[in-house]
Structure 1
Amino acid sequence: MSGRVRAAAERLARNNVAVEKARLSDHVYEPSGPVPEGWANRSGDREFLDRYGLDAMDFAIKGSNFRAQLYEPDAAVFGADMNPTLAFKGTEMTSLADWSNNVNQSVNIASEYYKRAVRSGTKLREITERIDITGHSLGGGLCSAASLASGKDCWSFNAAGLHPKTVEHYGGQVTPSNINAYHVNGDILTVAQTWTPLPGAAGTPYPLHGSGSPLSRHFITQAIDGIEQQKAEDITVLETLS
């Protein structure tokens, strides 16, 4: 197998998972809408939540814009390739609470959102069941915090940066984890992290092609499109050179 074929196969396998996490990161913004194909929203299923030590408090903070949801993959669709996934909602542009939590965490000031994410991650650290975490924008930062508190894999998209003291700030224990940090080239948040003192997104960076303004590149739909573009490129390589 040539190096090019191997690289295409490895990226395709990673992106086949990533695009599903991105779709869940999109769905958590509007969980009343249709769930992505192959997934079920189990956030209201107490028996399912008990497997992961989670409860209703992990999904909402009263009087705030914080939201998380727990999804289960359909083995008939994905086989054993997908894990149940905890998804954190990202920033809504008109929410002052979302922006306040973004800013506060970046300078190590108290953030109820990140406190809750670390709480959830600490719970997941104690369970042996397979589970992943995901999120976009602010949700990507929350995903990173929960991942480091739990040791579970995170898939973030155009993620808010994570202050190095955030997990310990809320009583969590930093645990080695695999954070797949996807970003659209030219995304407004990633650019800001590069050129200002803001902390950068945690994890291994994976760049994606985008288009339009820096703001439009931040939307989760651009990340999904960028992943699908890479998948198409890699399939072409595998079909041509294998």
Structure 2
Amino acid sequence: MSKIQLFCLPYAGGSATIYSKWKRLLNADIELYPVELAARGRRFNDSPYANVEEAVEDIYREISGRLHAPFALFGHSMGSLLTYELCCKIKQQKGVEPVHIFASGRRAPHCPHDRKVMHLLPEAEFMTEVHQLGGTPRELFENQELAEIFMPLLRADYKLVETYAYHEKNVKFDCDLTVLNGKEDDMVPGHLTAWNDHTNGSFKIVEYDGGHFFIHDHTESIVKLINETLSIVALSSGR
């Protein structure tokens, strides 16, 4: 019996390791596959992506050989945007869909960006904004050498997201979709229900206490949600 593969995409500046704690909590029939994006982690020496299209093409090349088995996708913030575009590409290229999409910490892809454009800010202001958002280790602000390594990657990720232009696609998913959000996250102002426009399947929003990086404070609850959701998928498909 095939395991359900769970492909996880990180937020801006994040690496595959942000999902490392999930492995011990996931059901035995779910195989965790945290995707490592370019310019971080084991791919530190690779150049950052120029745009969303380049990122999606790279991710697709990495996972396309694994799409013969049932799979689900989870993305947080930037990872949610990449998840949407990746799903569209998979459907167009392979004619298959995930059994479930988990979109966390981001407005629906067709909702316009209405926040401060971060990637064009001067360095000091950029670092202040990143610090206020939270989620970035304190050491990166206190150690200039680390900051000089990490901040260009983070700025490149912000540019990727902020220059993204949604194009209407003749694609609507048939799988179910769950949106996760932090109750105090002012980065995602009122555009969560719009994710429902992208699926014919069932849709729900699950909220957690906390801000934009709530996923780090609710690891067990989030993995429990994933386990329960994918267990229902397995039962309904007779696996």
* TM-score normalised by length of structure 2: 0.41
Give the TM-score taking structure 1 as reference length.
Answer: 0.41
